[in-house]
Structure 1
């Protein structure tokens, strides 16, 4: 309907020629501009937070303060994700993004003087901020893509995939850049010194401040209202009520499509926690030492970013998403099977190359899952984007929290077996979803 209106505007008499180009050309520029700003802002914020998170288990070792604070963080993340859709609807996606950055800033600042009285409260607050910033991100990016598709008469699924590919591709570079900064500032034996870590976190705070400022330059988005789903004031009021929140959560969990996606969402959180907590500890460090963790994570981030960009470009609908997810699942399975078989290469350069290869494959899998899950939710749940992206973060953060708390009590081999089983189950569930939606010829995938 919107595309017809655009064509009529293009065919109006020359009397309105002065206004017509502005009305037609400006929105597309602002849409792509907002994606660039959003991607860069997240890169700056998370290159600092990601590196700080990677250092928790090595810097804050007294009474396991670092790992415990991360477990608390993701428990808080899980709890607040239940209410995140309501908060984002009240605040608006842009305001949620801006407020969400404050939690990451305070968490990194707490690392300047890490103790139970600074890091734990910062972790709890970050859990709240993380829940609204990620629901806000998914809602903002999807509504931006949908507006761009309508204004330019483009295929909606392709634009959603393209925008997600750019965002996740740029975002994934935070591991690469953040770890390089960490390596540069903590080299020369300063890794355990107060002076070295203080300088590192001060630099991170400066970078994050610039990222937070960038958020302010985003255009406001009205989420679903642009699509006409919540046009009346009565509907808007209902969307902000706790009753509506409960209804949204129960409807999401009673939706067969969501139930079939949840296992893959849970696995995506599990594989991220595996990389942060298990892979670096039991695979990278024994093979190439503590100094090699930064290089391995940089390889992980680089392949994650490249794969995200490529996967986003190739996404056009459910068929392409199914093929891309299959490729990502295969890449993850290869790594898990090699680790389960305890296959290794002991020689110097080849051994390092092999570890970087495994890290790269894990990055490929993560890039595929993050781009395709976000694109899929945006396509299938147009009427409740906030609720859909809240479900994404609820299940991801819950899985990550479980890993941080239980990993010390479970053997590395047991973790790999659990991951392989969940990967197989989640992939089968996803294929069932693809078959079900494909047979139903859902408008969500055909638009």
Structure 2
């Protein structure tokens, strides 16, 4: 309501700080809840982690559909709206956030480490030592699996920022105007939600994650190539349809990467889930910041070349990780089975 620089800058800093806390703990809690549910009901852990992430990211993507329909209605005249419309929009968002905060208070504790040592739970959660915090931040960087997955983490931030900044500015706005941005992003959110739910249901382990990520990477690579080599704005219904198809396919890719990356972290980093999700947000947010910083100084074509290079690099690292990770997981399962047989015999 008061968009002055001396207000927006400190507010942005605060939102970034708070968002980091929220997202790291969201990933940690959701993974712990999935593991607990799988253990209590005798279900396959990888499948449940995929299902939980699919449900969460599907619901989360719905906010783009609903949230962008509101500006579409309020900005139907092509202007930025009047103060009463802005107040109504912010009030709706504030009520949604308040409801989410209230519901969060009813969540049960699912931290596996605290369940193992309930006597030290309070001291561990309230007074973490500086050394353990440093290890949690730095230790994942010495894991080869983390180094191979970091490019994909960074790419997810790049592609999200591309949609928010470049796609809406250079492709949607010139064709549909300011009011049309809400409609295009609503389509993006709808397909993002549908794909998140579907991809989550199809996730059962590393092989399924590899296939789904491959599909998402292929879809987004095709879109970037189309925009770089073949796309030309056209008026009329055909131009609008092409634009909405691009938005839908970009949403499908985002849904794939969100669900599968979270599931992959939950499967690979059982000993330090929180540290792994912290790395996810570090690289995602750094990539988002990079796009917003450089976007005023480079053309759309240069940005598309950057996106194509990033997706090729991240996918190559991911494929190598999936091949090595499959062998490691198979060896881990064999060790667990041998240990169980040994326990039964003794």
TM > 0.5 fold call: yes
In structure 1, the residue matched to 2:190 is: 302
- Unaligned runs of at least 5 residues, structure 2: 337-346
Flag the 1:357–1:233 CA change in 2: closer, same or farther, 3 A.
same
> Helix, strand or coil for the counterpart of 1:316?
coil
In structure 1, the residue matched to 2:285 is: 397
Greater mean deviation of Cα atoms: 282-291 or 163-172: 282-291
C-alpha distance in structure 2 between counterparts of 1:332 and 1:444, whole Å: 34
Cα distance, 1:430 vs structure 2: 0.2
C-alpha distance in structure 1 between counterparts of 2:224 and 2:106, whole Å: 42
In structure 2, the residue matched to 1:431 is: 319
Flag the 1:207–1:289 CA change in 2: closer, same or farther, 3 A.
same
In structure 1, the residue matched to 2:13 is: 124
Does 1:292 find its partner at 2:180?
yes
C-alpha distance in structure 1 between counterparts of 2:233 and 2:76, whole Å: 27
Greater mean deviation of Cα atoms: 305-314 or 182-191: 182-191
C-alpha distance in structure 2 between counterparts of 1:443 and 1:218, whole Å: 35
Cα distance, 1:113 vs structure 2: 1.6
Match of 2:168 among 280, 291, 295: 280
C-alpha distance in structure 2 between counterparts of 1:153 and 1:443, whole Å: 21
1:324-363 correspondence to structure 2 within 5 Å: 324-344=212-232, 346-363=234-251
TM-score w.r.t. structure 2 length? 0.91
Deviation string 1:294-338 (CA, Å, 9 cap, x unpaired) is 111011001100000000000000000000000000010011000
In structure 1, the residue matched to 2:342 is: none
C-alpha distance in structure 2 between counterparts of 1:152 and 1:142, whole Å: 15
In structure 1, the residue matched to 2:256 is: 368
Flag the 1:241–1:373 CA change in 2: closer, same or farther, 3 A.
same
In structure 2, the residue matched to 1:3 is: none
Flag the 1:277–1:190 CA change in 2: closer, same or farther, 3 A.
closer
In structure 1, the residue matched to 2:266 is: 378
> Helix, strand or coil for the counterpart of 1:176?
helix
Return the structure number with greater relative CO, CA threshold 8 A, min gap 6.
Answer: 2
Does 1:139 find its partner at 2:42?
no
In structure 2, the residue matched to 1:107 is: none
Does 1:315 find its partner at 2:203?
yes
Q: 1:224·1:384 contact (CA, 8 Å) conserved in 2?
A: no
> Helix, strand or coil for the counterpart of 2:211?
helix
C-alpha distance in structure 1 between counterparts of 2:134 and 2:114, whole Å: 20
How many equivalent residue pairs?
334
Cα distance, 1:412 vs structure 2: 1.0
> Helix, strand or coil for the counterpart of 1:382?
coil
In structure 1, the residue matched to 2:131 is: 243
In structure 1, the residue matched to 2:42 is: 153
> Helix, strand or coil for the counterpart of 2:204?
coil
Deviation string 1:170-215 (CA, Å, 9 cap, x unpaired) is 1101111001112223335663422322222123222222222221
Does 1:207 find its partner at 2:96?
yes
Greater mean deviation of Cα atoms: 351-360 or 240-249: 240-249
In structure 1, the residue matched to 2:339 is: none
Does 1:221 find its partner at 2:148?
no
C-alpha distance in structure 2 between counterparts of 1:351 and 1:189, whole Å: 19
Cα distance, 1:342 vs structure 2: 4.0
Q: 1:157·1:445 contact (CA, 8 Å) conserved in 2?
A: no
Q: 1:269·1:399 contact (CA, 8 Å) conserved in 2?
A: yes
C-alpha distance in structure 2 between counterparts of 1:255 and 1:313, whole Å: 29
In structure 2, the residue matched to 1:267 is: 155
Cα distance, 1:119 vs structure 2: 1.9
C-alpha distance in structure 2 between counterparts of 1:440 and 1:382, whole Å: 14
> Helix, strand or coil for the counterpart of 2:272?
helix
Cα distance, 1:116 vs structure 2: 2.2
Runs of 4 or more, structure 1, over 6 Å off, are 443-447
> Helix, strand or coil for the counterpart of 2:271?
helix
